[in-house]
Structure formats: structure tokens, C-alpha cells
A and B are shown apart, each in its own frame.
Chain A
Amino acid sequence: GEDVEQSLFLSVREGDSSVINCTYTDSSSTYLYWYKQEPGAGLQLLTYIFSNMDMKQDQRLTVLLNKKDKHLSLRIADTQTGDSAIYFCAVTTGANNLFFGTGTRLTVIP
């Protein structure tokens, strides 16, 4: 299988930018995802990027992919208290399974 790693915790002040990082091991990964899990809820797809892209921007979210280093990041601009959640990185090689990281708990301090 694939190893997907994330740091467990991140704290930022409201209004600052948050950067959540993820590394993976399989260079043939084709789709890379960011999911958000709010307390007591399932996972909600936030955004995704194909492996032939370096960057994708969607409103306050920016995804950066460095294929050479197998590094994926999610930047949240102007972080709000409603962004407090667990963020999961997930990657797939196109087969049926997705491999998930451990999740990063983002805490936004007012």
C-alpha cells in the first residue's frame, strides 16, 4: 500500500493563513484529495488535484503539488473559526482504494 503522512495538529490565529502539509510515497498516485471532517460528521470533499497539475485554486483554498518531493499542501487564506476541523489528505493510483493520512486537526484561535 501507500504511506500518507500528515502532522496531527495545527493552530493558527483567525485571519491568518493555514498551511496543512501531506507527504506520500507512491509516485504513480494520480488523484490527490483534501477532505474536511467537522465534529461529529463524516468526511466532506473539499478539493482535489490531478497529478499533472502543480496548483489548483478555489476561493480561499490553494492546493500545491510537488510531484518530485511527493508533497501536497492545502493553504487556507483568511482562516475563520468555522475552518476548525480535521483535514485529511488522500491519494489514489486510480485503483479502487484511496489511502488516507492520519488527519490534521486545525484549531483556529479567535
Chain B
Amino acid sequence: DVKVTQSSRYLVKRTGEKVFLECVQDMDHENMFWYRQDPGLGLRLIYFSYDVKMKEKGDIPEGYSVSREKKERFSLILESASTNQTSMYLCASKGRVNEKLFFGSGTQLSVL
């Protein structure tokens, strides 16, 4: 089975802090994604990456950046956390041919 692991289940940070959310997948998938999930808004795509060192903006990239130095790892970075970035963050991956998207269990980030 595909395993997508997010490093933290819960995270509490202060406004202005730099925050790193890490995601690792073990299936050699080319594509990796970061979503945020908010009640009533569903999942919104922040960034995705289709290869090492490649990245594409999603629907809501403002205030975020990403890093993909290795194929298995995709990091989401909040340069200066703000309270409106309090949310559930979900990482996902999928292979080139297989269209199924596999999710991590999520990181609930609270910015105080």
C-alpha cells in the first residue's frame, strides 16, 4: 500500500514564525500536492510538484512556498505564519500513470 506520511499531526505556532510542514511518500510517485482543508470550503490546492525541483502554483499559493529537493519529500513552507493560515493541511501523491491520489493523515496547524 502507498504510504504518505506527514511529520506532525498537530502543530501550534505563533504569528510571524516560519513553519515547515513535511511530507514523505514511499511509492516513487512523481506528483505530490499540498492542500488545505477548511470547513465548508472543501480542499483547496496550494502547490503541487510533478518532479524533483519542479513546482506549480495551485489555487491559493499566497503566503506559502514549497520545496522538492528529493522525489519522496515535498515540504510546505509558511514564511511568516498568520492567523488566517490556521487550517488542516493535507499532503497527497500520485504516480504518472495511476490517477489515484493518496493522502497523508493531515496536519492541523493552529497559528496564535
Contact = CB atoms under 8 A, between A and B. Distances in A.
A48 B102 CA distance: 13
A103 B58 CA distance: 19
A41 B9 CA distance: 9
B51 to A, nearest CB: 11
B48 interface: yes
B102 A45 contact: yes
Nearest to B6: A42
Interface stretch (A55-63, A76-84, A87-95): A87-95
Which bucket holds chain A's interface residue count? 20 to 34
Interface string B77-108: 00000000000001010000001111111100
Interface of B: 4, 6, 31, 33, 35, 40-43, 45, 48, 50, 56, 58-59, 90, 92, 99-106
Given A45-B100, A97-B48, 19 more contacts: A8-B40, A33-B101, A41-B106, A42-B4, A42-B104, A43-B43, A43-B90, A43-B103, A44-B103, A45-B102, A88-B43, A90-B101, A92-B99, A96-B48, A96-B50, A97-B58, A100-B43, A102-B40, A103-B42
